[in-house]
Amino acid sequence: MAVGVFDSGLGGLTVFDAVTKRLPDVPFVYLGDNANAPYGVRDADDIYNLTRAAVTRLWDEGCDLVILACNTASAAALKRMQETWLPKDKRVLGVFVPLIEALTERQWGDNSPPHEVAVKHVALFATPATVASRAFQRELAFRAVGVDVEAQPCGGVVDAIEHGDDILADALVRSHVEALLRRMPYPDAAILGCTHYPILQDTFQQALGDSVKVFSQADLVASSLADYLQRRPEFLGPGTESKFLTTGDPATVSRHATRFLRHTVTFEQA
Ligand code: DGL
């Protein structure tokens, strides 16, 4: 009854951590495509092909349901996968919608027309590919009216995190926040639209100031998955074992992942 969790690299571990805490009896198989990260600088076709290959690999592990714990893959590939490729007995879920539902104060399945919400000025921090896709604005427009979104493509941040360069990652976040605040000086809320960014949540919060509510995905995705599995238990696949797989070098990825999560994580070759 395993569930797959996919990211281009380490970022999805923030989601993995939250879903395993929320659903301790479910085995989760994590796959990081570290050999091809970062995805955020790739074009949409490339992201689609890499994501499809990763999801297929997770099916081989007995995961009929796969969480794309990667905003870039969710933004650039998910809709196309669902519309043109996915067999009926498999499911792939993204990480965008739970976040937008929280921002727009909606319950799952509330398909009422878009309405006014409390937040009016939203700062979105994400990879260049996620920002270019405009998927966040598209999903938001289905649910809310009158929300002004200013998006900042945070070039370099994922690479710095993947390579364990915390000082560079911190400096890049501060400069991306500054750049956004020049265009939108008083956001009410900020979205960390990349699963790597929660590791730098304190830096984002400090640079944005205390008055800005920072939304990040891990816990929201975990609640949404728990809810989904209650309604659709048939998508718990036949896999039985939790494991960490990587397309990169397992020893290097295990070292970075252990630092990233602050507990020991051992990856195997995908
Ligand atoms: N964690 C991915 C995301 O949420 C990383 C993107 C990348 O590989 O650039 O967007």
pLDDT digits (tens, 9 = 90+) for 179-200: 999 999 999 999 999 999 999 9
pLDDT digits (tens, 9 = 90+) for 61-79: 999 999 999 999 999 999 9
104-215 under CATH 3.50.50.60, yes or no: no
Mean pLDDT on 263-269: 96
State the distance from the centre of ligand 1 to the C-alpha of 112, rounded, in angstroms.
31
Pocket perturbation via mutation, ligand 1, pick of 36, 154, 194 by most ligand atoms within 8 A of CB? 194
Query: Which residues sit with their C-beta closer than 6 Å to ligand 1?
Result: 7-9, 11, 37-40, 70-72, 127, 130, 158, 194-196
Mean pLDDT on 149-170: 95
Q: Hey, what CATH class is 3-96+218-269 in? A: alpha beta
Instruction: Give the start-to-end residue ranges of the domains of the chain.
Output: 3-96+218-269, 104-215
pLDDT digits (tens, 9 = 90+) for 221-260: 999 999 999 999 888 878 788 999 999 999 999 999 998 8
For the CA of 38, the closest atom of ligand 1 is 8
pLDDT of residue 97: 87
Residue, of 31 and 104, whose pLDDT is higher: 31
Same fold across 3-96+218-269 and 104-215: yes
Secondary structure, 3-state, 116-176: ECCCCEEEEEECHHHHHHCHHHHHHHCCEECCEEEEEECCCHHHHHHCCCHHHHHHHHHHH
Catalytic residues: 70, 194
